Copies of this chain bind each other. A is one copy, B any other.
């Protein structure tokens, strides 16, 4: 037993730390904050609930996270004109720049890492998705 689940943990923990160091060094922002902004950018205008769903994180987490991002001026949150108790999230210009530059930097580094490792990217990526799908299917079944 090569303890795959432990190694997966180790791998993502290290990827996190690596991304965190890079982002802190270059842009003085944490990986989780960066990722939040990146996903808001991808969603266009998002509610916090949608953001939580997409990030796979609880709504209170998103609530606190968006709070600090609004405070730092990277993100805007306004009452949704569509009504209801919703907040519409949108990147502010500094947030857009951050996402653009950070994404490029991280993708470049990550691509180089995978190349150096000799792991076949597409293969590994496909298997990762398969595992996620199997896990999701199981959860549904349990529920």
Copies of this chain: 2
A14 within 8 A of B: yes
Q: How far is the CB of A92 from chain B (nearest CB, A)?
A: 23
Closest Cβ neighbor of A133 among chain B residues: B117
A18 touches B125 (CB 8 A): no
| Among A2, A122, A123, residue most surrounded by chain B Cβ atoms (within 10 Å) | A2
The interface residues of chain B lying within 8 Å CB-to-CB of A114 are: 4, 131, 134
Q: How far is the CB of A57 from chain B (nearest CB, A)?
A: 8
Instruction: Tell which of B4, B107, B117, B126 touches A1, judged by Cβ atoms closer than 8 Å.
Output: B107
B8 touches A110 (CB 8 A): no
Q: Indicate whether A135 sits within 8 Å of B12 (C-beta atoms), given known contacts A110-B5, A117-B130, A128-B4.
A: no
Where the two chains meet, the residues of A that have a C-beta atom closer than 8 Å to any C-beta of B are: 1-2, 4-16, 18-19, 35, 56, 106-107, 110, 113-114, 116-139
Q: List the 4 shortest-distance A-B pairs measured between CB atoms, nearest first.
A: A117-B134, A119-B127, A4-B125, A2-B125
